[in-house]
Structure 1
Amino acid sequence: MKLLSVAIPCYNSESYMRHCIDSLLPGGEEVEILIVDDGSAKDSTAEIADEYERNYPGICKAIHQENGGHGEAVNAGLRNATGIYFKVVDSDDWVDESAYMEILNTLRRFVFGEKTLDMLVSNFVYEKQGSKRKKVMNYRTALPENELIDWDDVKVFVLGQYILMHSVIYRTELLKQCGLELPKHTFYVDNIFVYQPLPHVKTMYYLNVNFYRYFIGRDDQSVNEQVMIGRIDQQIRVTKLMLSYYDVTKIKQRKLRRYMVRYLEIMMVITSILAIKSGTEENMEKKEDLWQSLRKQNLKLYLRLRYGFLGQGVNLPGKGGMKFPIAIYKMTQKFFGFN
């Protein structure tokens, strides 16, 4: 059995996937690198995956499947994972070697110790193309460092500070037991990957190292603002799925409940802002439908999100009302370095 399984979803990734895979090889025999070729047809992604499996037997495994999208590639990785822990690294991203060694040391300590670790959190760095200053997302204000904690020990997550796919490593069996299965042919499912397992997490550990390097800046990237607006239907689908998994108002652990409510709030707000920025009546109707569907599904949660500061901000009437959320969005972009 491996210590860590790393799934790398690849779709026509020949120009950057080698950098990603090479950054993970220093993990050696303790790590399995699952290179998931998600139906790539336009380049040599499949051949590169097979080459790494040939050259690094027992470490790299090539998985070929029909195109199912990012979520199905993650599903394939999870189905094939033999590691005690599971991580997703996108094919255009990479990891920092020294931080990687600390990550493995930490995981190893729990595997051979008496206590079980469900979720390891570390920092990620926005590797924004053309940017001299690299924004680091850390969790020092939210999580005590270097100690096994539960939800009662969580401190304060500030606005915009969320545990993302880049920052999390889950215990593999936990993901399988909670029934995690991401939807096919859908973008933005990384939110589901992080969100759905949370009520099953009993223990967590924060390692304050800049492990994951998140490349951002390609025009065709899914987080490009115009791409997101064009895919607003998928953003809505993911948001509705997240709303359906749990009645978060009934979660007993106060800090877990608060965190999950805040996560849903930001999903609703981002979707609403994308609709506003699109400038189309059709998308504004989709925005209204999303809020009304939440109202019918869970009135208590609707009232909490709709009449919170952010919810009110994206539902102000008239053209003047549209300027406020866009201004907030731009400020957040500048501060956190995304898009």
Structure 2
Amino acid sequence: MNKIKRLSIVVPSYNSQDYLHLCLDTVVQGGPEVEVIVVDDGSTDNTAAIAREYCDRYPDIVRLEQKENGGHGSAVNRGLEVATGAYFKVVDSDDWLDPADYQSVLSMLRSNPHVDLLITNYVYEYSYNGKHKVMRYNNVFPEGKVISWDDMRSFRFDQLMLMHSMFYRTDLLRQCGLKLPEHTFYVDNLVAYLPLPYVQSLIYLDCSPYHYLIGREGQSVNTQVMIKRIDQQIKVTRMMIEAYDVFKDIKCKSLRQYMLFYLSMMVATTVTHLYIAEDKTLSSKADELWDYIKQSDKKLYTELRGSFINLCIDLAQKINPRILAHSLNLIKRIYKFS
């Protein structure tokens, strides 16, 4: 039996008893090359008991880590601390992997054991209507070829590399010092953004292993939930802005443009939710965010404020704040996150 752990899959789990079975049923299909680390983040339901069942059934694959509740980022941190696989992947407990495409990923990692980042497509699964949307990158990357960021083509306006599409080399994440804040939502953006300048080699596989469930009640991307947790969205956005001086630190032009694009989307999403709440206290936080960016980096401020999506938001806010609700729907349609 092959004992090499090629891939560590971390499954952050908090009160996940209703959907953890589906997730684990798919991730264990990686076989002995994979370790599945279920991180029980202080659950009060049967999450740990379910995980133990899989530990008993798949003792060479599944392990359980239990900790006090610290939030999604804290669970990812624990997983990264104990991971032994050459590559690292987070699979949220309400999501799942397609078995055939999962095997294609393992085959690609087997053939390219030193690449820093493997990028794949992923699928949005909409629970409320049974539809799905595949997010592809075949217009951006050549398939099956090890490249650098210099070889990357332009992204469309509706594309971002999210955590769901990325398989990082584990040592690279440790090298870049990735540590996510506790009790904070939206940290998946940090996983998708912070390690990018450390990536020297990447490869794209045109398949769709990750299925991301959208529409579950109370989900963090729900509009009302995002408004309620907007301080956490602001915190993550500021952490991304503070991580790099993109004009000085990022030498590769194509990577710099992509990172600016990502930041513009984060700011646009944040300020739109602040404005549509129709709460003067929250609206003032949008102005505070822009002031913070301007004081931190005037060049970055000019770039982000002048991006197409933020220009549209500014215009809508000046004409009629209620138009912003339609702007938010536009953002959602573009980025397919709800």
TM-score (norm 2): 0.96
Residue 290 to residue 336, structure 1, CA distance change in 2 (3 Å): closer
Aligned to 2:41: 38
Aligned to 1:94: 96
Counterpart mapping for 1:161-176 below 5 A: 161-176=159-174
CA distance in 1, matches of 2:232, 2:55: 34
217-226 vs 132-141, which moves further: 132-141
Q: Secondary structure at the match of 2:73?
A: helix
Aligned to 1:272: 271
Counterpart mapping for 1:189-338 below 5 A: 189-250=187-248, 251-316=250-315, 320-334=319-333, 336-338=335-337
Return the offset for 1:26: 1.3
User: For 1:60, which of 62, 68, 86 is the aligned residue?
Assistant: 62
Residue 330 to residue 317, structure 1, CA distance change in 2 (3 Å): closer
**Is the Cα contact below 8 Å between 2:316 and 2:323 reproduced in 1?**
no
Q: Secondary structure at the match of 2:160?
A: coil
CA distance in 2, matches of 1:27, 1:302: 45
CA distance in 1, matches of 2:80, 2:117: 16
Q: Secondary structure at the match of 2:129?
A: coil
**2:28 pairs with 1:25:** yes
**Is the Cα contact below 8 Å between 2:186 and 2:232 reproduced in 1?**
yes
CA distance in 2, matches of 1:30, 1:325: 48
CA distance in 1, matches of 2:144, 2:191: 24
CA distance in 2, matches of 1:317, 1:83: 48
Q: Report the AA paired with residue 17 of structure 1.
A: L
Say how many residue pairs are matched.
334
Residue 245 to residue 36, structure 1, CA distance change in 2 (3 Å): same
CA distance in 2, matches of 1:268, 1:313: 13
CA distance in 2, matches of 1:183, 1:125: 27
Q: Report the AA paired with residue 4 of structure 1.
A: L
Q: Secondary structure at the match of 1:6?
A: strand
CA distance in 1, matches of 2:46, 2:142: 44
Cα distance per residue 1:38-94 (max 9 Å; x no partner): 0001x1111112222122112100000000100000001101100000000000000
Return the offset for 1:285: 0.5
**Is the Cα contact below 8 Å between 1:121 and 1:206 reproduced in 2?**
yes
**2:85 pairs with 1:83:** yes
Aligned to 1:157: 155
CA distance in 1, matches of 2:197, 2:297: 19
When the two chains are superposed, the root-mean-square deviation of aligned CA atoms in Å is 1.4
**2:185 pairs with 1:183:** no
Which consecutive unaligned segments of at least 5 residues does structure 1 have?
A: none
Q: Secondary structure at the match of 1:193?
A: helix
Aligned to 1:14: 17
Q: Secondary structure at the match of 1:333?
A: helix
201-210 vs 311-320, which moves further: 311-320
Q: Report the AA paired with residue 46 of structure 1.
A: A
Return the offset for 1:142: 1.5
Q: Report the AA paired with residue 59 of structure 1.
A: I
Identity fraction in percent:
46
TM-score (norm 1): 0.95
Return the offset for 1:322: 2.8
**Is the Cα contact below 8 Å between 2:123 and 2:212 reproduced in 1?**
yes
Return the offset for 1:324: 4.8
User: For 1:50, which of 44, 49, 52 is the aligned residue?
Assistant: 52
Q: Secondary structure at the match of 1:223?
A: coil
CA distance in 2, matches of 1:285, 1:337: 28
Residue 318 to residue 75, structure 1, CA distance change in 2 (3 Å): closer
Return the offset for 1:284: 0.6
CA distance in 1, matches of 2:336, 2:197: 29
Runs of 4+ aligned residues of structure 1 deviating over 3 Å after TM superposition are 316-319, 323-326, 334-337
